[in-house]
Structure 1
Amino acid sequence: MIRVGIIGLGAIGQRLIKDFNNHPEVNIVSICDQIEERIIETAKQLNDILTFTDYTKMLEDTELDLVYVAVPPKYHHQVVSDVMEKGLNVLCEKPLANSTEEAESLFLQAKNKGIINAMNFPLNYSSGSNTFAALINDGYIGKVRRLELKMRFPQWPRSWQQNEWVASREQGGYVLEVGVHFIQQIQKIFGPIHVLNRIIQFPEDPKACERAILAQLETEDGTPLLIDGLSHIAGEEEIAFTAYGSEGTLSLLNWSALEGGKIGEEIVSIEADATLGDTLIGQLVKAIKGEEANIIDFSQGYEAQVVLEQLRK
């Protein structure tokens, strides 16, 4: 059995607990959070679990094969670095760190340690996003003319994200929380991207995150990429990633739905190929067992962080 420890039991950390539990070769043996109420509630879901409020003590007192770090972004660098110093394999929440410099430090440390290092970018295991990538690679839209990422949030943070950091300029905002997923996907499918210019709007509160962004980027071959984000608006949440090409248009909507069409035809729904779906936990297990696996490592996390910080700053 692969022994897993979890550091950080907030809304994001809770999401993977069920996935860890559902894998027959994984056993969560220890959990850690500074808030004891979270520990108590999480422990109810698990059997024979060790609990800690100090992650350094957990690393000292528990035999582990993998540590999942799901603390707020500004703590990623210290916690992940401490995990790697123990020679432990690590899964880190996105973004990799809270600055380009911190992300580069973790990437280089992981490279030097030679351990398994992975990021939680779930789009890489979604049948919807993988079908999008497959259609692009198969030439569904022809030569790519333009990429667009549209993000609309009536409320930010959303109702399930009410904590002390998701709304902060320091380590929150939807460009960081949502945009980085698509930055990573764009780099994976279309190659490196570069920020040309951006307009970002903040509220009067100097500690509050952005409310609007308009950014112009491009791929290495000069294909334009537009990022258009707004929060605190009327209507429903909408996230749309669209590729326009010489032969058609293709969109990934609200994380999983697909629609597209050829030039001269209507835009219609497209069914995702279920065989292209996968699980992060399953791929991590393969990697730890020494098998070929599809994991997004810290080098890719660092590449996404470079673009992310150019947008945020």
Structure 2
Amino acid sequence: MGIRGEPVRLGVVGLGVMGTEMVAAARSLDEFEVVRVFDVNPEAAGRVDVPFAADVREIVEAGDVDAVYFATPPKFHAEPVIAAIRSGKAVFCEKPLAVSLEDGRRMVEAAGEQGVAAAVNFALSNRDAVLEVERALADGEVGEVRGVDVRLHFPRWPRDFQATATWVAGKEQGGFVREVLSHFVYLTDRLLGPLEAVDVGLDAPEEGEVAARGLLRAGDVPVHVSGFAGIAAPELYEWVLWGTRRSYLLRNWAQLFVSDGGEWTPVTLSGPRGSDAERLSLFAEAIRGKHPRALADFASGLRVQEVIEAFHGQRS
């Protein structure tokens, strides 16, 4: 299975939380063989039992690597991703696609020119709750979509599991708008179409982002964003789709509720939940020339980036 009917030979760049998890996910699948990894911290070599490359070039230019997963901070995506693409490798990149809009556009252009599979790892792309809402929209169960609300609360930023990733706290390439809101912008783009940033703002003193608010639009559908960090409240992730017949609430990534006008009722979901390993399997399908809808491509990643960076003052 893979490019030549055999496992896809995967290189991994970046061995933080996500990179280490993705190595484990790839090694659990018959579709992949993890052949080489790299991180700027040499001590990261001990986190996985895989040959450690001398530098990034050893992976992106290697003849025995078919595809590369990039889990570096977003500021450092563009050059190695483009180099990998130009050497004919498929690419699976962490979100956001980039920080600079120019970099994001160069990445999309390179992927288009080379015709390789190029995907972005949005955790909600294959989540069972998302697939259920997508089905309900397609079947007309929602009725007319009147709007979307996105609400994010963080008592601490960065979150505990990212405490050692210092870049996540900084305004240059981190913050909860890039790191978390991007997932929900992708979700809304996926279900309702491309978004326009109508009126967005970000409160970000020297210590980092503390509040984000915004009005986006998916065509005629208003999308309201409200996010706060450093507040005395439980951590919360909510995305609400308001429909005239039925509304849906996605809470904390996996809990789905529905309302027909009364109280919110939990939705019982069946089938796979939507894991890193399942997204890797979708990436393997993309490498084989398929176009799985439940996998974000570079074009959708760039649309998300354009909306996210509008909060930071970058405009298309």
| TM interval, short-chain normalised | over 0.9
1:1-313 to structure 2, matched below 5 A, reads 1-43=7-49, 49-61=50-62, 63-162=64-163, 163-203=165-205, 205=206, 208-220=207-219, 222-263=220-261, 265-274=262-271, 277=274, 279-294=278-293, 295-313=295-313
Q: Rate the CA distance shift 1:165–1:139 in 2: closer, same or farther, 3 A.
A: same
Task: Measure, in 1, the Cα distance between the counterparts of 2:221 and 2:214.
Answer: 14
Task: Measure, in 1, the Cα distance between the counterparts of 2:21 and 2:69.
Answer: 12
Measure how far apart 1:84 and its partner are. Answer: 1.2
Confirm or deny: 8 A CA contact 2:200 2:213 kept in the other structure.
yes
Confirm or deny: 8 A CA contact 2:60 2:80 kept in the other structure.
no
Confirm or deny: 8 A CA contact 2:10 2:35 kept in the other structure.
yes
Task: Measure, in 2, the Cα distance between the counterparts of 1:275 and 1:12.
Answer: 20
Measure how far apart 1:50 and its partner are. Answer: 1.9
Opposite residue 254 of structure 2, the aligned amino acid is S
Measure how far apart 1:149 and its partner are. Answer: 0.3
Confirm or deny: 8 A CA contact 2:116 2:287 kept in the other structure.
no
Measure how far apart 1:242 and its partner are. Answer: 0.1
Opposite residue 215 of structure 1, the aligned amino acid is G
Task: Measure, in 2, the Cα distance between the counterparts of 1:277 and 1:235.
Answer: 28
Opposite residue 145 of structure 1, the aligned amino acid is R
Opposite residue 209 of structure 2, the aligned amino acid is E
SS of residue matched to 1:110:
helix
Farther off after superposition, 30-39 or 10-19? 10-19
Confirm or deny: 8 A CA contact 2:59 2:65 kept in the other structure.
no
- Counterpart residue number, 2:3: none
Measure how far apart 1:177 and its partner are. Answer: 0.4
CA displacement 1:65-121 (0-9 Å, x = unmatched):
111011101000111011112111111111111121111110011100111111111
Task: Measure, in 2, the Cα distance between the counterparts of 1:60 and 1:307.
Answer: 32
Q: Rate the CA distance shift 1:291–1:61 in 2: closer, same or farther, 3 A.
A: closer
Unmatched segments (≥5 aa) in structure 2? 1-6
The number of residue pairs the alignment matches comes to: 303
Measure how far apart 1:62 and its partner are. Answer: 5.4
Task: Name the % identity.
Answer: 29
Opposite residue 29 of structure 1, the aligned amino acid is V
Unmatched segments (≥5 aa) in structure 1? 44-48
Opposite residue 211 of structure 1, the aligned amino acid is V
Opposite residue 84 of structure 1, the aligned amino acid is I
Report the RMSD for the aligned CA atoms in angstroms: 1.6
Q: Rate the CA distance shift 1:106–1:154 in 2: closer, same or farther, 3 A.
A: same
Measure how far apart 1:288 and its partner are. Answer: 2.1
Measure how far apart 1:7 and its partner are. Answer: 0.4
TM-score (normalizing by structure 2): 0.91
